[in-house]
């Protein structure tokens, strides 16, 4: 059970928690759509990073969307997921420059910026879900939501 009730605004349980302030929900959702879509980095790479982050960020709703799929990894996805794991397990201000050296071998500076923005935003989403105790939607609830 979530810590607060869902609002009447939003399409997903996550959005309905943010929907208590419609402007926040709309802006958050818009930024999420931009970051999750194909940009400089493909959405399939970002989805594997999201799945990696979800395993440790405490949001059961996010974890229920699936674990990382190593069979989907190519070299760039492997490096991005590895960076996400370093992010999860490090003090953020103390991530070694050598880690960014590895990123620079595989990604442009613009791609690194997008990856870091995606990781930070996704972590914020997952922390919000954890803080609100957002649970996975059961198949029965999912049928009733349509």
What is the per-residue pLDDT for 146?
30
**CATH code, 13-145:** 1.20.1290.10
Q: For position 140, what pLDDT does the model report?
A: 46
The reported pLDDT for the residue numbered 143 is: 39
CA 91 – CA 95 distance, rounded (Å): 7
The pLDDT, as a whole number, for residue 145 is 38
What are the sequence ranges of the domains in the chain?
Answer: 13-145
Q: 139 pLDDT exceeds 70?
A: no
Q: Is the pLDDT of residue 97 over 50?
A: yes
Is residue 101 within 8 A of residue 30, CB to CB? The reply is no
Span 10-59, pLDDT tens digits: 999 999 999 999 999 999 999 999 999 999 999 999 999 999 999 999 99
Residue 27 CA to residue 101 CA, distance in Å, equals 33
Whole-model pTM over 0.85:
yes
**Residue 88: closest CA among 115, 113, 114, 120:** 120
């Amino acid at each position: 059970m979530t810590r607060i009730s869902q609002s009447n605004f939003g399409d997903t349980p996550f959005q309905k928690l943010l929907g208590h302030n419609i402007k926040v929900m709309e802006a958050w959702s818009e930024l999420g759509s931009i970051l999750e879509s194909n940009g400089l980095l493909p959405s399939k790479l970002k989805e594997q990073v999201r799945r990696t982050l979800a395993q440790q960020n405490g949001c059961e709703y996010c974890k229920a969307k699936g674990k990382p799929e190593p069979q989907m990894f190519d070299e760039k996805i492997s490096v991005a997921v590895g960076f996400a794991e370093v992010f999860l397990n490090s003090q953020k201000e103390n991530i070694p420059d050598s880690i960014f050296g590895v990123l620079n071998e595989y990604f442009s500076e613009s791609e690194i910026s997008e990856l870091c923005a995606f990781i930070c935003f996704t972590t914020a989403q997952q922390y919000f879900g954890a803080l609100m105790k957002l649970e996975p939607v059961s198949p029965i609830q999912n049928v009733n939501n349509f």
